[in-house]
Amino acid sequence: MEDTEPRNTDPGPEPGPEPRPDPKPEPRPDPKPEPKPDPGPEPRPASESDPKTAPKTDPNTGPRTAPDPAPEAADGDQPPPRPKRRRLRRTRRLVLAAFLVLLLPFLTAETALRVNYMGDPADGTHTRNRDAIWLGHAWVDGRKDDADLAAFAARLKTTGIRDLYVHTGPLEHDGTLPKARYPKARWFIDAVHRELPGVRVQAFLGDVLVTEAAEGMRLNQAGTRAAVVDSARQVLDAGYDGVHLDLEPVHSDDRDYLSLLDDLRAVTRAEEARLSVAAHQIDPLPALHTVFNVFTENPKWWSQEFFGQVARRVDQIAVMTYDTAQPLEGTYGGYVAQQTSLALEVTPPTTHLLMGLPFYHESNFDHWGHAETVEAAVRGARLGLSRTDADRRLFGVAPYIDFAATETNWKEYQEGWVGRGTP
């Protein structure tokens, strides 16, 4: 019979006294003989045999059978590999799906902006000789001299710039303005009026609001607003042609800000001076400022309605159309075109609208230097003007800022906006 057993499991002879010499010795019968196993199914391993019938082994020599294989791990000792891989694949799919859900609206919006940059601006959409420029504090604190002024005046004579927003603050958080901050203001104002007849000099007054920082100006305090109005009177008495207010960040629908503008307008009108503001960008999508405010204390956009409310209270409104985080020149230009159209729709024709130009170069998340170019901003402004109100007279652009400007910035402004402008 073929042996199908992997090892011998029959019990061996029990130890006993040495057998007597006998030519034919008979084995002693086992008191409880085991029946021979039927040849057939493979017997259970020794580890599972009945302990009562298991063979006794010599403790000195051990069993003569082959060692048992290592026992398999019981269920639950370690997680099975396949379900773990399935969970990993499921997690990856969920992450990818979430990424695509977030990416799709972004790609859609960027595509729309790029399309908005297509086409040709209408003829005549060039300077109306109503441009402005933001200037640094060095012009009024003594760091600039007559030679600097002469060189700057020579450059401006070939442009459409008629308003200078020269930094005269910053305001104190309580709204006051120390006179020691602008000791050379009178010199600068007189020199500009002499070298550039018809060009106005406005006092650029600004401060950070508590909406962004732990410390800052609190517009909800009537005393603070009154102090800002007094500071406006102060700079007008010093000879400035107007007040340019830049408080950041102003939340959309801020009633205290509107109240301050009403009070300032009363003062500037009485002095026959200009009131202008630096304005936030307008929601590129409806109510986007509301969604954005959920995640940050710094509101990037105003509602179009609030922008119109501000525009109706001032003589000039300059949109800060830079630091847009646009990654490409084409999408940035399309964004400026959109902002120009949105602003024109709600700005009264009696209010002078200006679109900001990035006269500086840096690269960070808010401002990509390769994308936010003067050339793209000028073309975008022309496209928006062409599509919305090509004949608007009180319209211009406003470079920011003089001390960071490059020759390329001036060249792109000159060629793209001034070149074929009205005399």
Is residue 135 in some structural domain?
A: yes
CB contact at 8 A, 220 and 178: no
Average pLDDT, the chain: 84
Percent of the chain with pLDDT over 90: 64
User: Is residue 303's pLDDT more than 90?
Assistant: yes
- Residue from 193, 187, 122, 144 nearest 164 by CA: 193
Pure H helices in 312-359: 329-346
Q: Tens digit of pLDDT for each residue in 181-201?
A: 999 999 999 999 999 999 999
Q: Tens digit of pLDDT for each residue in 369-422?
A: 889 999 999 999 999 999 999 999 999 999 999 999 999 999 999 999 998 644
Q: From CA 284, how far away is CA 342, in angstroms rounded? A: 8
- Mean predicted confidence (pLDDT) in 288-316: 79
Q: From CA 274, how far away is CA 106, in angstroms rounded? A: 40
Going by pLDDT thresholds of 50, 70 and 90, the confidence category of residue 65 is low
Is residue 216 in some structural domain?
A: yes
- Residue from 336, 332, 333, 346 nearest 392 by CA: 346
pLDDT of residue 126: 97
Going by pLDDT thresholds of 50, 70 and 90, the confidence category of residue 79 is low
Is residue 354 in some structural domain?
A: yes
Q: Across the chain, how many H-helices and E-strands are there?
A: 10, 10
CATH number of the domain to which 123 belongs: 3.20.20.80
Q: Tens digit of pLDDT for each residue in 127-170?
A: 999 999 999 999 999 999 999 999 999 999 999 999 999 999 99
Q: Tens digit of pLDDT for each residue in 161-172?
A: 999 999 999 999
User: Is residue 7's pLDDT more than 50?
Assistant: no
Query: Which residues fall within 8 angstroms of residue 262, CB to CB, at 6 or more apart?
Result: 313
C-alpha distances in angstroms, 198 versus 96, 161, 276?
A: 60, 10, 17
Going by pLDDT thresholds of 50, 70 and 90, the confidence category of residue 48 is very low
How many domains does the chain divide into? 1
Is residue 94 in some structural domain?
A: no
Query: Which residues fall within 8 angstroms of residue 309, CB to CB, at 6 or more apart?
Result: 258
- Mean predicted confidence (pLDDT) in 242-257: 97
- Mean predicted confidence (pLDDT) in 312-323: 98
Higher pLDDT, 98 or 385: 385
* Listed range (67-81, 345-359, 400-414) with the worst mean pLDDT: 67-81
pLDDT of residue 41: 47
Q: From CA 421, how far away is CA 127, in angstroms rounded? A: 5
Higher pLDDT, 282 or 423: 282
Tokens 């005269």 appear where? 168
pLDDT of residue 264: 99
Going by pLDDT thresholds of 50, 70 and 90, the confidence category of residue 49 is very low
pLDDT of residue 113: 79
pLDDT of residue 78: 58
CB contact at 8 A, 369 and 363: yes
Q: Tens digit of pLDDT for each residue in 228-247?
A: 999 999 999 999 999 999 99
Question: pTM for the complete prediction?
Answer: 0.75
pLDDT of residue 1: 44
Strands (E), 120-226: 131-135, 161-167, 200-208
* Listed range (106-110, 193-197, 211-215) with the worst mean pLDDT: 106-110
Which uninterrupted H or E stretch holds 301?
A: strand 301-302
pLDDT of residue 273: 99
Task: Assign 3-state DSSP to the chain and report helix, strand, coil percentages, each to 5.
Answer: 40, 15, 50
Does 170 sit behind a cis peptide bond, omega within 30 degrees of 0 on the bond before it?
yes
pLDDT of residue 43: 46
**What torsion do the CA atoms of 163, 208, 304, 318 make, to the nearest 10 degrees?**
10
- Mean predicted confidence (pLDDT) in 301-305: 97
Q: What is the extent of the structural domain holding 397?
A: 115-418
Is residue 92 in some structural domain?
A: no
For residue 213, count other CB atoms closer than 10 A to its CB.
Answer: 13
pLDDT of residue 70: 54
Nearest-5° angle of CA 215, CA 220, CA 226? 100
User: Is residue 225's pLDDT more than 90?
Assistant: yes
Q: From CA 233, how far away is CA 242, in angstroms rounded? A: 10
pLDDT of residue 87: 80
- What's the length of the chain? 423
User: Is residue 60's pLDDT more than 70?
Assistant: no
Is residue 391 in some structural domain?
A: yes
Q: Please provide residue 91's backbone torsions phi and psi, each rounded to the nearest 5 degrees.
A: -65, -40
Higher pLDDT, 297 or 204: 204
- Residue from 212, 207, 208 nearest 296 by CA: 212
User: Is residue 216's pLDDT more than 90?
Assistant: yes
pLDDT of residue 141: 98
pLDDT of residue 94: 75
pLDDT of residue 143: 98
